[in-house]
A and B are shown apart, each in its own frame.
Chain A
Amino acid sequence: MNPVVGVAAFAAVSLATAVIGFYGLRVSRTTGDFYVASRTVKPWWNASAIGGEYLSAASFLGVAGLILLSGTDALWYPVGYTAGYLMLLLFVAAPLRRSGAYTIPDFTEARLDSRSVRRVTSLVVVLVGWLYIVPQLHGAALAIRITTGLPAWVGPVAVVGVVCITVVAGGMRSITFVQAFQYWLKLTALAVPIVFLLFVLGGGESAAAESPSSSTANPTALAPAGPYQIISLLVALLFGTLGLPHVLVRFYTNPDGQSARRTTLIVLGLLSVFYLFPTAYGMLGRVFAPDLARSGQADALVLLLPGRMIGGMAGDLLTALVVAGAFAAFLSTTSGLVVSLAGVISQDVFGGSVRGFRLAALISAIVPLGIASMTGSVGLAGSVGLVFAFTASTICPVLLLGIWWRGLTDAGAIIGMVTGGVLCGSAMVAGSVLGAAQTPSWLAQPAAWTVPAAFAVTVLVSRATRGRVPRTMTRLMTRLHTPERPLATER
């Protein structure tokens, strides 16, 4: 493959991101524009931004790779990734927006009136963010290696470099527009090539598209997933979405709880449309590129398929588009996470100064770079699925119970988070020590028991420490669950 294609695609995406980030703000010079400039973000825009930030390497590359490997069983991943937003819509979006809190630690501190809860939540949020950035960087390493032939470390370093420069130089001033742009770029980058591929298949003119034989329909001999694994995976994905720090801060952009709900509804639609395409790639890959599964390069399927099935100039252009989409996925998720982690770290460690924010941004990008360079990637969708399991066993119980249960106490929240974190963390560690072949399914997919355990511990400890229910609880709960007063100047 032409290495220039990959480099050019990466450069173009980075440049577009930076330009929109720096100059994307609406500037008005006349009074007539004043209303335009001071209008809050419409749910459509914000939903696109959430989609842009949420669709990571796991969605863009991982889902197709997993479908190539394990067929229809892998369809539970896109289902779960999307359905998490249904939970968000029903249980979290509006109350969280009404709380007036910006980050998850802000919320838990306000709800439980305790600094210690804030510190523990911040620690968990930072841990989740780091674990989430690592697979993005692995995706970047894979994309650079496959498309340009450069050493793998170039990818993560380039992504972290671009993110650091834009965030530190103030290039995320219009983060909503950057992220919305990234969503539509990712959608285009998957949709346009697949249309061409289907067109080529229909015409039957491509040299690469030889007729499929039935023996290639299942390239690997993976055993189908049992009901436990599916349930556990769905628990992780449904509840894990509720605690993602970079998604939840986006709801602050909505002016009120009602528009937060509407935004979530649109996100559901946008994600549903998006996931049609990785699924299509996976299915085509099972027929036309089964060798990728055998050579352990399943995650590169989306990057390689257009070039394989359509050769020549057209193939190069389509590949460039897909590579651009992939880097949009790495950049948008990483920058979203870095910005929200930097917000948390700068507030809790550096006292909220401007310099502290920059330093915190560097820390939150460079630590995962170190972790990523020390480890190798195995299955993007699977690694991100484990981060969801961790989030579901730590942040989610505190968030859900904090919004819907009056009896939650600070002690219950802390012990619940620690229990969930330790259980899920040790399951992950045990799984890596044993290796995939020896790991029993209850360790490989721990969410089905760690999430209920975290909920149970949180509830039990809260019942035991009933006297610690904060005095501000009633006032805050009222605020969370009553619709806002209409603004005086609304028209």
Chain B
Amino acid sequence: MAARARSARQQQIEQLLLAPINWIEERSGLVSATKRFLFRKVPRDVSWAQTLGSATLTAFLVQLATGVILAMYYRPDPATAYASIQHITNDLTWGWLVRGMHRWGASVFIILMFLHLGRVFLFGAYRYPRELNWLIGVLILVLSLLEGFTGYLLPWDQTSYWATVVGININGTAPILGPFIADFLKGGAEIGTETLARFYSLHMLLIPGGLIALIGLHLYLVTRLGVVSPPWSKEAAGRERDEVETRKRGLVEPRPRGNANRNGSDQA
């Protein structure tokens, strides 16, 4: 009797907790989509090497969060930019930490991206059908480097200023379009107020917008196409079975799991 009463109460509580979730699910299908994402199968030999991608994502999210807060205090004007950076770093509560995290998070983000790229290369994970995702990844890398370049000017100190002069002039040496790109980046003939506002807008809005879209696409393709096993794995998903192995497998496990499904998919 007591057990039944408790279970009824439990049911009530469960109902209460589930009601909003069910409400959302019925109207959007988001809950089941999240479940499909979370409870999807990955090869069983997936391990630490495959965490570099998600680690890069974490670094990116740190950049987003800290960048949004920094924008509340930073003033993108040559007359005040440098003073606002000093104010953020020295005076504001936790300002040094948020700016420091943004500054060093950028480096960590880039390092992780290179490591992730190296891992994908060594695992041969850019092969069919994942070529498109490799291209998207390279674009993300390029945009991130641009993010680094535009962000470097914002403190408006000597290092920022002259590194940006050199960086813009490097663009300027490109054939045909070079001087055009350089003038566009500077917003005029000389580096000045327009340049800082322009770099701020690119750094804050345009490039991050592109990055978020591309990262979303990247993740969608990862979910859709799956993660590859390490190349040295003995039980890699999609490995070729020689006859002996297949027979042995047949002895141990009467139902040939892989083959049955494989035939099924061939027919489909």
Do these two chains interact? no
Q: Using a CB–CB distance below 8 Å, which chain A residues touch chain B?
A: none
Q: Using a CB–CB distance below 8 Å, which chain B residues touch chain A?
A: none
